Amino acid sequence: MKKIIFICLLCFIIDGALLGQNQAKNILGVSAGIVPGTSDMYFDMPFNFWPNRELSPICQVFYARQLTESFRIGSYLEYEKINFTDNVVNDIKNFKRYNLGLNWLGQYPKTSLHLQLGGYFGYGFLRAQNWDNLTGIDLGLIVGPAYERNKFGIALHLHGGYAWYKSSGTPIGVMLYNPKILLKVYYKL
């Protein structure tokens, strides 16, 4: 019962914040991009090796709230399909990474064309055929140029971060360096 009351109160506060504003402070967007192919992933026991990762597609949907003229905080949902070139991992099919997290961005200068710098922290899981699900955290930095005109915006962001996923089965863990290049399109409400 306490959880239901808390969720209802949270929805009421968010609704009041969304409807009781004069400026466009809510940002909704989508992004698509790539994760370059490298040997940036480590499979722990029983594999103990660094597979060669191919160029992988990644997509993201996000929401942010403009707190000040130069700072925003938000959340995101991310999906990546990971491919490998190694024959050693031929039993791994449909390797996918899902992530839900928080991000924050500052922007400078206060012009239409500006630089954005921030970071992200997320929780997610990896899925692969014939493997137990692995869960863990992602964290990293975001940097790139952005252009905003009226209520529309477009940004080209470079994400650089690390992730560590664990399971109680096989494999014990997966570690990865996760560089991403994302083209983001967003709208301010």
Q: Which has the higher per-residue pLDDT, 187 or 16? A: 187
pLDDT value of position 156: 98
- Interstrand relation of 113-127 and 41-43 (parallel, antiparallel or unpaired): unpaired
pTM attached to this predicted model: 0.82
Query: Are 116 and 143 in contact, with CB atoms under 8 Å apart?
Result: yes
Residues 6+ positions from 109 with CB-CB distance below 8 Å:
none
172, pLDDT greater than 60:
yes
Task: Identify the weakest region by mean pLDDT among 24-38, 61-75, 126-140.
Answer: 126-140
Tokens of 40: 């940036």
* Alpha-helical runs (H) found in the chain: 2-19
Quick: pLDDT tens for 113-130: 999 999 999 999 888 777
For residue 135, pLDDT beyond 90: yes
pLDDT digits (tens, 9 = 90+) for 17-33: 555 556 789 999 999 99
Over range 78-101, report the average pLDDT.
Answer: 77
Domains of the chain: 22-188 (2.40.160.20)
